[in-house]
Amino acid sequence: MSSDENILTSKPELLYRFPWLSFTKVKFKEIGKKNPDEFVEWLYKKYWDKNKVNIDKKIESIFEDAINNLEIIRDFNPKDEELNIYIYWMLKIILFLLNNPNITNRIANLYSKNALKQLELLRDEKMEDLYWICSDLGLDVQYYEDPIKINAVEKTNLSVHFIDFIKMGINLRDDYRKLVNNSLSHGYVFISKNRLIRLLQEYVRNEILKFAKTNKSEEDPKERTDLEEILTEITPFKITFEKIKNLIKSKKIEFSSDYTETMKYLEGKDLSIFFPPCIKFLLSKVQQSQNLIHNERLFLVFFLNSLKYPIDQIINIFKTLPDFDDKIAGYQIEFAIKKGYSPHSCAKLETLGICQKDHKIFGDEICRKGFYSRNQDRMIKIAHPLFYMSVKESRYLWKMKRRDINEQKITKIEKN
């Protein structure tokens, strides 16, 4: 394959489909050079004046998809061409302003899943596009016109230098990312299309997560507040930004760190009285030494970790499982914790068959019907297991308060 560095110039469809490619900055450098405020102003004007595209709706829907843990960006269409790139750049700006690692995490997950889907849709039997994508990302890859046999069933046209191969999969646990499980020749790993796509998905996730890292280590928060001030002078941006902030506020219940602030592991404190049916059910299975399926294990680890249970306590819980192996379990649990995922929402748990709201022993009314919120004067559905815990805790505290008041009244009567 020729080494034409600008091959992506003649493949703009790849740039529209994969807005995280670095060549987008070269291809659209005139726009990329603009200051954030010039860019934002230009973007709203261009798309509204020309095509009446509601940029705010598009961006808002991406945040909705991310918050709802969807597998794809519903509104994503490669036919939107360079708009996909500009929206991706806008997201960078908005994530920077929000400075919320939780949201950045959700957007990173959403974009990476969307990238996986789009990569799978590529009609790229000879892996040429994948070669250009990897090259664009600065990966050391080699292309073979004649496919190389990797194993009894798979062939490939590509190999990746082992350093890049390791770097890309550093946070993955799948067995295939280990060098020993791959064919290696002269420092290059022969890699199948599916496995490469999975590594690229991880690459996209990490790229977006870098926004959060930059924000965290940022020494000058003034830079962010100054930029917010400038950008919110642009009315359509202000409207979009406010909508997103309101969306995050209204979906607060979806974010574990927001509602587990008071609900944290503390030695001697029994949190299990607040556990939701799904968790009680899983723990009862564990106590009876019944095996848990992969999704159940992960959910239990994410859940306990979000309550800041110490790792040895989590491992102890898993110790009764029939296939428990100290070393493997320790590694797997540490890995799951390192990933920092929030526990799934109730909607997701329902699709995974983990929800137990109707269980004859553990099921309960709060999960089935929701609860009445005095503040909002309406019934609210339980959308997240951690939210369930907050509801249970506030009911418990209210009950305790009532009991104290009654006891004080009784003491007063007795004294009189």
- Binding residues vs ligand SF4 (CB under 6 A): 276-278, 346, 349, 355-357, 367, 382, 385, 388
Nearer to ligand SF4, 196 or 349 (CB): 349
Q: CA 95 to CA 100: how far, in whole Å?
A: 7
Nearer to ligand SF4, 197 or 278 (CB): 278
Rounded to a whole number of angstroms, the minimum distance from the CB of residue 343 to ligand SF4 is 9
Rounded to a whole number of angstroms, the minimum distance from the CB of residue 206 to ligand SF4 is 30
* 88, 19 contact by CB (below 8 A): yes
* 24, 15 contact by CB (below 8 A): yes
Rounded to a whole number of angstroms, the minimum distance from the CB of residue 385 to ligand SF4 is 4
Rounded to a whole number of angstroms, the minimum distance from the CB of residue 392 to ligand SF4 is 10
Nearer to ligand SF4, 231 or 386 (CB): 386
Q: Characterize the bridge pairing of strands 371-373 and 184-185.
A: unpaired
Token code pair at residue 18: 């994969």
Give the chain's largest Cα–Cα span. Answer: 98
- A 10 A CB-CB count for 389 gives 25
Q: CA 155 to CA 193: how far, in whole Å?
A: 9
Rounded to a whole number of angstroms, the minimum distance from the CB of residue 410 to ligand SF4 is 36
Nearer to ligand SF4, 15 or 386 (CB): 386
Tell me which residue has tokens 């960078």: 92
Nearer to ligand SF4, 127 or 382 (CB): 382
Nearer to ligand SF4, 151 or 373 (CB): 373
Q: CA 303 to CA 19: how far, in whole Å?
A: 33
Nearer to ligand SF4, 19 or 277 (CB): 277
Nearer to ligand SF4, 19 or 385 (CB): 385
Tell me which residue has tokens 């194993």: 151
Rounded to a whole number of angstroms, the minimum distance from the CB of residue 270 to ligand SF4 is 19
End-to-end CA distance of the chain: 97
Q: Characterize the bridge pairing of strands 188-190 and 155-161.
A: antiparallel
Rounded to a whole number of angstroms, the minimum distance from the CB of residue 30 to ligand SF4 is 49
Q: CA 280 to CA 273: how far, in whole Å?
A: 9
Q: Residue 378: beta bridge partners? A: 373
Q: CA 386 to CA 392: how far, in whole Å?
A: 10
DSSP, collapsed to helix, strand or coil, labels residue 45 as helix
Q: How far is CA 334 from the centre of its chain?
A: 18
Rounded to a whole number of angstroms, the minimum distance from the CB of residue 349 to ligand SF4 is 4
